[in-house]
């Protein structure tokens, strides 16, 4: 069972990562929104879309039947450390690759809010997220609490990517 401190941390991270992503994209021009550092890198628009796609997938994944897996609360620190770390690059599975759905930051923020509201609702209604187990493609068996932490950490990872895009010398000013 989660402690109140763990529950509070997850809610705080969900709220902060959502706020920070929206703050990072809200005032971009169309040129900034679609700017790519190179052909093989994502734009801010694609990062925002990917964040929403992954979060929506995770909530659906957690809402399905749990797997019989052994998880440990000790993995919390692993999630908090490694998911936001951009030192290791991952290739998104094809079904989570952005398709250009968001034409503007406003479109993205509306979808990000909707998805985050569903995540927060799932977490608030889940009596014991520790009792749910699903396999993460990179981290292995995670419980529902760890998956909730990963939602925030994944958004933070791509917020760092967005910041990197915005710092690029060719980024439109």
In a domain, 42, yes or no: yes
Between CA 10 and CA 152 the distance in angstroms is: 8
In a domain, 39, yes or no: yes
Contacts of 122 (CB under 8 A, 6+ apart): 59, 62, 63
In a domain, 172, yes or no: no
In a domain, 9, yes or no: yes
In a domain, 173, yes or no: no
CB of 166 within 8 A of CB of 93?
no
**Domain count of the chain?**
1
User: 12-24 pLDDT, tens per residue?
Assistant: 999 999 999 999 9
User: 30-60 pLDDT, tens per residue?
Assistant: 999 999 999 999 999 999 999 999 999 999 9
CATH of residue 89 = 1.20.120.450
Between CA 135 and CA 78 the distance in angstroms is: 14
Q: Which domain holds residue 49?
A: 4-167
Between CA 166 and CA 44 the distance in angstroms is: 8
Query: What percent of the chain is modeled with pLDDT above 70?
Result: 100
User: 93-141 pLDDT, tens per residue?
Assistant: 999 999 999 999 999 999 999 999 999 999 999 999 999 999 999 999 9
């Amino acid at each position: 069972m989660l402690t109140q401190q763990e529950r509070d941390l997850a809610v705080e991270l969900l709220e902060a990562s959502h706020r920070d992503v929206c703050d990072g994209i809200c005032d971009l021009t169309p040129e900034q929104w679609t700017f790519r550092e190179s052909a093989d890198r994502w734009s801010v628009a694609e990062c925002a879309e990917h964040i929403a796609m992954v979060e929506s997938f995770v909530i659906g994944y957690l809402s399905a039947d749990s797997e019989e897996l052994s998880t440990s609360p000790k993995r919390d620190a692993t999630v908090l450390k490694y998911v936001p770390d951009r030192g290791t690059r991952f290739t998104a599975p094809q079904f989570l690759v952005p398709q250009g759905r968001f034409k503007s930051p406003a479109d993205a923020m509306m979808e990000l809010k909707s998805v985050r509201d569903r995540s927060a609702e799932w977490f608030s209604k889940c009596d014991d997220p520790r009792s749910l187990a699903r396999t993460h493609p990179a981290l292995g068996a995670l419980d529902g609490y760890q998956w909730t932490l990963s939602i925030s950490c994944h958004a933070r990872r791509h917020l760092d990517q967005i910041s990197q895009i915005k710092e690029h010398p060719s980024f439109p000013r």
